[in-house]
Amino acid sequence: MITPEYAQMMARYNHWQNDSLVKAASTLTDEDRWAERGAFWGSIGATFRHIYWADFLWLARFGVVEAPKITSFADAQAHIDWDEFVGQRRELDGVIRDWADGMTQGDIDGVLTYKSISYGELSNPKAPLIVHVFNHATHHRGQIHMMLTAAGAKPDDTDIPIMPQEYKEY
């Protein structure tokens, strides 16, 4: 279904887009970042935090990091200092890239059994779960892009073919 090279490309795209949207969001005030905007997670800040914690949880499920101490996604939506968040996001993007860079086909094949906050214990093939990690983030970044644009910020383009070279290098 997928290869390590797919995961590596998506990790780089993920990093580029997170950097791009964080840069655009940094032009807003903290009040603007946390203003209710009618999105699923409410605000730009809360949506960023949701992506961060979902990424963190998936990395924990794959055994890359230690599981975070949260009991629901609502716990992860609390307001946080923006500069602190930016540092955490950049660090986690590095962990995601390292995970993808070290991935083998054996890491992709097989089944992962894990606990879901919403659904209890689940077992699923790893390949679609890896796709989900990146697809989930892309979905919510699209919401952030829309909220940033509506707030007057100028996010960069999102197309993989124009990804800057510094993000493409493996």
Residue 50 annotated as binding site: yes
Domains of the chain: 4-159 (1.20.120.450)
The whole-number pLDDT of residue 170 equals 55
3-class secondary-structure state, position 124:
strand
Rounded Cα gap, residues 25 and 148, in angstroms = 7
pLDDT-wise least confident of 3-7, 19-23, 66-70, 160-164: 66-70
Residue 15 annotated as binding site: no
Buried/exposed 98-136: b ≥16 CB within 10 Å, e otherwise: ebbeebeeebbeeebebeeeeeeeeeeebbebbbebbee
Residue 140 annotated as binding site: yes
User: Global pTM?
Assistant: 0.92
The whole-number pLDDT of residue 71 equals 61
What is the pLDDT confidence band of residue 101, given thresholds at 50, 70 and 90?
very high
| DSSP symbol at 35 | S
Rounded Cα gap, residues 160 and 9, in angstroms = 9
